[in-house]
Amino acid sequence: MPLIDGLTTLWDTLTSAQPDPPPLLVVLTAVVAVAVVAARVPWRIARNAVTIAHEGGHALMALLTRRKLHGIRLHSDTSGLTLSAGRPDGPGMILTLLAGYVAPSLLGLGGAWLLAGNRITLLLWLAVALLLAMLVLIRNLFGALSLLVTGGIVLAVSWYTPPEVQAAFAWTSIWFLLVGGVRPVFELRRQRSRGRMPQSDADQLARLTPFPPLFWVGFFLLVALGALAAGTLLLTGPLLADVGLTG
């Protein structure tokens, strides 16, 4: 049947593995990602992607813990807000608060695992699906535009560009999530030290648990650095194999 044949072809396309990337691509995309995170102006623009992942983490955990999710707002200053209703304390609220700062790094680690298997097409299509799902939850114009632009870029790359461009885009994006997941934690620490974020996730967690805010900042950092280390091992597999350091 044509429908079944089409679905089979689509599934084969999504799950098929692309060739190993050139080692130079792995290195260059890592350098580009680090440069974007380190530079002030590029980071200011690209940080919206980290905010999308951050608020998406809050929203997903709220749904998983059966809290009532009211919506997500993304702002032009790269801040965001996820509103949910339910018990003001307890495991559901704690896990929802906990999910934000660790989401970009864990998302990057998941992406690194897919790229380690050269599942570039699957990675890009999953990204589009997640962005579309999140779009339903957006409650402000800037947030909707941010998701539409981001999703449109990913869709255009996956649909219209050659495999080499898709690979470069995918590796750069995942390196960015892994490296970019670390910087917001340091920004949180700096802002808290200046008394500018009294309602941060870390402060709210401190009010719900026996642990102080700095404990939670340290926990966020530990997860981000751990994901970066694990993701680096996954993403540099082809490079290490090329120089004879693995397998």
**Share of residues in the chain with pLDDT > 70 (%):** 90
Angle formed at CA 222 by CA 174 and CA 181, multiple of 5 degrees:
30
**pLDDT tens for each residue of 87-133:** 888 999 999 999 999 999 999 999 999 999 999 999 999 999 999 99
Which of 71, 201, 49, 55 shows the shortest CA–CA distance to 141? Answer: 71
Rounded to whole angstroms, the Cα distance separating 84 from 213 reads: 22
Total-model pTM:
0.91
Which of 203, 151, 163, 206 shows the shortest CA–CA distance to 25? Answer: 163
Across the chain, mean pLDDT equals 90
Give pLDDT, residue 16: 72
SS (H, E, C) 119-174: CHHHHHHHHHHHHHHHHCCECCHHHHHHHHHHHHHHHHHHHHCCHHHHHHHHHHHH
